[in-house]
Each structure stands twice: as C-alpha cells, then as structure tokens.
Amino acid sequence: MDNQYSIEKIYDRWGKFYDIFFKKVFSEGRNVGVELLQLKSDEKLLEVGVGTGLSLPLYPKSSEIIGIDISSKMLEKAEEKVRSLHLENVDLTVMNAQEMEFPDNSFDCVTACYVVSAAPDPQKVVSEICRVCKPNGRIVFINHFKSQNFFLAKFEELINGACKKIGWETTLDLDPLLKSNNLTLIAQERVNLFNYWKAVLCINSKEK
C-alpha cells in the first residue's frame, strides 16, 4: 500500500477520537511552541499537519493562519473549531505537506506540531517547509526526536514498527534534518510527559 495513502487512512480513522487522546497530553508542547514563535499580528503563518486544529486558538486572531492536512477527517474537526471559536483569520485546506501547492517564500512563519515524524517522508516535509517559508522566516517543530540515550534509542528502534502502524515513527533524528535544510537552531525546550518531546525554534537560513 502506498505510504501516503495509508497515513491519510490512519489519520482519517483517528479523526473522531484524536482530541480525547492527544489534546491534553500534547498541550504543553503546543503552548511552548507558539510562545517561542512570537507571531506578530501582520505575519502570515502556515501550520502543516494542523490535524483537528488544537493549536489554532493559540495564535493571535489578527494574524493570517493557513492550516493544511492530508486527512480530510482530521480537518473536519478543525473546521468545527474554526466555526465554534469564530476564528475568522484561519483557512484550512486538504494538502500533502510533501508536495505543497504554495509558491516559494509564501509565509513568514511555519509550525509543524507532532507532524514531521507522522509523515511518510519527513525530509521532504522539512524541505517543502523551507521552500514555502521566506528567507529568515521562523519555523517551529514540536516533535519527539530520537533519544540521545543509548538504551532509550534502542527501545525506540524496537517499537518503531508498531508505532508506524498507528501514525508516527519514533527514530527521527533532529540534527541531520536541520543541517540538510539550512535551518539555524535558535531555541529548544523539552516538553510534555517526562520531557520526552521538544519544541524547536529555527530560522530558515536559505539564500535570498
């Protein structure tokens, strides 16, 4: 089965239940990520893999927010939040983050909350994020990245296959992703249960 098709199906299935499991448990990461970003009112932000829209209420209502996701069922839940919370600054579209339809340099800022390790090709997602983000734009990733601890890293390798079946991988390495995409690390904070995840702020250091 095609990877892209299967990740879409996996998250279409999560749609109804996602908030029950992942709203609270991942909320610290979303809050810290948005705080690190310091989004200004005249800036345009893209949220990649916006899912059920749990971070949408955290952005200033004066900023223009575009959210994309590959799963239409996750986005249906995000649309409900946009309507009930009157988030008139938010536009949502079904789109694959690995092949975005936006022109180069379309956004001042990009966020990806718990997405890069969920996508079939993390490297492609990050290179697309850098393409659509302006030079010197700010990019925030919130994710679990491969542990630096030898034993934990081995454990993560062991459970990776099972985790992929339910929607994410556990062995994604942060440093090569940053290096190969010309991203400059500005700040990182450990977040969520056992500080097992990271909120990472980067600058898009691509050439103008």
Ligand X SMILES: C[S@@+](CC[C@H](N)C(=O)[O-])C[C@H]1O[C@@H](n2cnc3c(N)ncnc32)[C@H](O)[C@@H]1O
Minimum distance between the CB of residue 22 and ligand X, rounded to whole angstroms? 5
Stretch that binds ligand X, among 63-71, 145-153, 171-179, 184-192 (CB under 6 A): 63-71
Minimum distance between the CB of residue 100 and ligand X, rounded to whole angstroms? 9
Residue nearest to ligand X (CB): 51
Per-position x/- string for 126-165, each x denoting binding to ligand X as judged by CB under 6 A, each - no binding: ----------------------------------------
Q: How many CB atoms lie within 10 A of CB 155?
A: 13
Size of the site for ligand X (CB under 6 A): 24
- 81 near 53, Cβ under 8 Å? yes
Is 119 a binding residue for ligand X by CB under 6 A? The answer is yes
Residue 118's Cα: distance from chain center in Å? 9
Nearer to ligand X, 76 or 205 (CB): 76
Nearer to ligand X, 30 or 146 (CB): 30
159 secondary structure, DSSP code: H
Nearer to ligand X, 6 or 205 (CB): 6
Of 144, 161, 163, 122, the residue nearest 25 (C-alpha): 144
Minimum distance between the CB of residue 172 and ligand X, rounded to whole angstroms? 13
Tell me the C-alpha distance between 178 and 168, whole Å. Answer: 19
Q: Residues 6 or more apart from 174 whose CB is under 8 A from it?
A: 141, 143, 145, 146, 198, 200
The count of residues in the chain is 208
Tell me the C-alpha distance between 50 and 117, whole Å. Answer: 14
**By the criterion CB under 6 A, which residues form the site for ligand X?**
7, 11, 22, 26, 30, 49-51, 54-55, 68-71, 74, 96-98, 113-115, 118-119, 168
